[in-house]
Amino acid sequence: MKRLLAGALLGFFVGCSAFEPDVGDRSPPIDAGAPVVFSRDIRPMMNKSCKFCHYSTQASHIGLDGSGLDLATLGSLRRGGNDTHQNIVVPYAPEGSALVLKLEGTFSEGVRMPKYGPYWTDDQIAVVATWIAQGAQGDDSE
C-alpha cells in the first residue's frame, strides 16, 4: 500500500507543470505552414535533451550503446537504431515515424524518450512532426 501511495504521489509531482521540460529555446513556428528547419528548430532541442545518451561525440552515450541510435548528425539519425532502423524518420509521415512515437511514448518498442526526462512538450513534438510532414529536409551533416 505504501508503494502504491508513493507511486501515485511521484506520478502527481512528475506531471505537475513545474516539471515541464526546458529542452529548447525555440518555440514552434507561429505559422503552421512555415518551414521547419532541422538545424534551427530541432537540433537545439536535441542538444539539450538527447546528447548525453545518444550522441557518439560525447564521452558517455549509454543510449547509443543500448539502442544503436546515434543522434549526433541528421545522417546518423536517419539511419535509425536497432529497433527503429530507417523508420525513425519517414518523410511526409510523422504518424509512422518512430522519432515522433518515441517522443510521445506510443512506440511499440522501448520507453518514452528522453528516458530520464524531462519529456518534450506537445508543442515541441509538434515541431518535429511538422518537420517530418514537410519532408524531413536537411543536410546529413546537421
Per-residue pLDDT tens for 7-64?
A: 333 333 333 333 333 444 444 444 557 899 999 999 999 999 999 899 988 888 888 8
- Residue 97 carries which side chain, given as an amino acid letter? S
Domain residue ranges in the chain: 22-133
- The lowest-confidence range among 7-21, 89-103, 116-130 is 7-21
What is the CA angle 109-126-97, rounded to 5?
35
Phi-psi category of residue 81: left, alpha or beta, with phi > 0 → left and psi -120 to 50 → alpha? beta
Cα–chain center distance at 31: 22
CB-count burial class (<10 Å; 0-12, 13-18, 19+) for 66: middle
